Amino acid sequence: MGIHIGKAIRERLKAQGQSVTWFSKKINRSRPTCYDIFDNPAIDTELLETISRVLNYDFFKILSDNLSSPLSEK
């Protein structure tokens, strides 16, 4: 199973003790949009770069690390 990037972002935000309001202002998005981000397993790379900078965390690395395991054949 792949990484659910929205959940990873939400967990990192909580670990830093920041609010969704703070986060929404930093990424210039509405609070409802932030909740949509948290619920989404995928994200635009430009937005992910912004979020990575705001939260000072390399979300691309966790996605890249997940590539080390090949997709199982069906």
pLDDT in tens, 42-70: 999 999 999 999 999 999 999 888 877 66
Rounded to a whole number, what is the distance in angstroms from the first to the last CA of the chain?
14
Confidence of residue 74 (pLDDT cuts 50, 70, 90): very low
Q: Which two tokens stand for residue 52?
A: 């990575």
Mean pLDDT of the chain: 92
Q: Is the pTM above the cut of 0.85?
A: yes
The C-alpha atoms of residue 19 and residue 48 are separated, in whole angstroms, by 18
pLDDT beyond 60 at 1: no
Specify the pLDDT at position 69: 65
Domains of the chain and CATH, by start = 5-64 (1.10.260.40)
Taken in order 37, 42, 47, 50, the sign of the CA dihedral is positive
Structure tokens at 24: 């929404």
Q: Which of 23, 73, 74 is nearest to 53 (CA)?
A: 23
